[in-house]
Every structure is written in structure tokens, then in C-alpha cells.
Amino acid sequence: MKGKRGILFFFVVVSSIVCAQDQKWKAWETEADTLFNRQEFEEASTLYTKIIETTKLNDKEAYPSVYKRAVCYYSLGNFEKALEDLDVFIPAFPDMYRAKLLRAFVYKELGDEKRQLIDLNEVLDQQPGNPDLLRMRAAIYLQKQEFKKAKEDLDIAKSLKDDSETEVYLGVAYYNLGDLDSALFSINRSIEMDASYMPSYLYAGSFCLQEEQYELGIKYLNLALRLEPRNTSALFYKGVALVELKKVEQGCSYLAKAFYNGEDDASGYLEQYCYSMDD
């Protein structure tokens, strides 16, 4: 009997220790979640780390701490660590599309378009009618110069939720497919929907310059400069357009402003049309 009491006492003590540890990490989790919601990500990540190290992830209830720590790391710009956590979390919860979406954003920051696209495709399999995700995938296709695929996604996204950004992306796709009229139609739609959306004017100005429609380009760029008088790209594009229209003095003034605001591409035009950069 004495031996049995000793064994029973052992299990009671062990059970009490385990219970105490369980209560402890759950208290940490409550505190960490409060910090997380306050966007105090450094402090929250420290507590999530304590939870992960204490539980060794033997308790599946502790796994959300891995995901939330990944969000903290992402928010703090520590993308490699965020990726490490997501690579642990996703195999344990493969149906949680938010984790794959977060990893897609991490891959974007790391410049890994291939893996970003893989995760995004899997998320879209789970959320096929999500216009924001379709637009995000279209942006990747635009970067990869797969313009037909981009347009297909954007057409679907537009039918579900049209906005200025979608129209601008459509304009980029149309232009690179050789359809300037449709590109400018989409750009003008974007401006109608949100006259303060700067990329609309910059893309329109850029398209017009590439097509040597300098007067039309200047109209878009003037609108851009009303919104942001010191916008470097708008100053540069307008300077190029004016120089091409033989309005060299005016053009050089805009190119100089662009250059001294950080637009390195302006140096070639300044050197060719305005003055030697060695002077």
C-alpha cells in the first residue's frame, strides 16, 4: 500500500506541475495577445517565444502563438524569422488560408515571386471569388510580363469589385498588350473613380510619352503636379515631354528639379539637352 501511495503521490505532483505550467503559458498568451492588439509587436513576440519554448509545441493549443509571432515578425520587418514560423505553422494547419496569405506577403518582401505565386494560388483555391487576391496575383503576372494572365484576373476582379487600382492595373495590361486606347480608357475610369489616385496620372503620362503623344501626356502630368507639385516622376516625365516638344528651357527646368529631388534618370537628358553634368 505504501508503494502505491508513493506512485499516486508522484502522479498528483507531476499533474500539478503540468497544470501549473499550462496555466502559466496561457496567462502569457493572454498578456501577449493584449500587446499584439496594441501593436506592441516586439514585446508580444517575446512572450510568444516564451510560450513556444515552454510548451515545445507538444500542445496543439500553443500553435497559434507561432502564427501570431510570425505576424509580429512581419510587422517588425523581420521577414526571414516570419518565414521560419510560417513554415512550422502551415504544415500543422494547412487549411488556414490566412497563414498562406501572410507567407505570400513575406515572399513578396523577400522578392521571391515564384513561391509567392504558389501560396497565392493555393489561397485562391480556397477563396476563388476574392477580388483583392485576384488583383494581387495580377500584379505578380504584370511583373512577370504575363499580361494576358494579368488581364484575365483583373477582368474577374473588376466584375466583383471595381476600383481605381484595378483600373490602373488593367491599363498597364492593355498597354503592354498593344492597346493604347483601352489602356487610356481604363486610366480615365480610374481618375473618374478617384481623382486623387496619383498612379493613374503617372501611368497615363508614361504611356503617352512612349507613344510620342507628348501634348496629351503633359495634360495628365499637369493634373499629377496639381496633386503633388514635387512629385519626382511627374516632374521628370513632364521635363522629357517638353524637351521632346523643343521647349528645351522649360523642359530643362523640370528635369533639373527631378534630378535634384533624386531622379537619377534625369541626368542623361540634362547632359544631352541642357548642360554637361561635369560643369
pLDDT digits (tens, 9 = 90+) for 91-112: 999 999 999 999 999 999 999 9
pLDDT in tens, 119-163: 999 999 988 889 999 999 999 999 999 999 999 999 999 999 999
Of residues 278 and 29, more confidence is placed in 29
Task: Name the grid cell of 96.
Answer: 488556414
Q: Which one, of 163, 159, 119, lies nearest residue 140 by Cα?
A: 119
168 band by pLDDT with thresholds 50, 70 and 90: very high
pLDDT in tens, 40-84: 999 999 999 999 999 898 878 889 999 999 999 999 999 999 999
63 neighbors 89 (Cβ within 8 angstroms): yes
275 neighbors 243 (Cβ within 8 angstroms): no
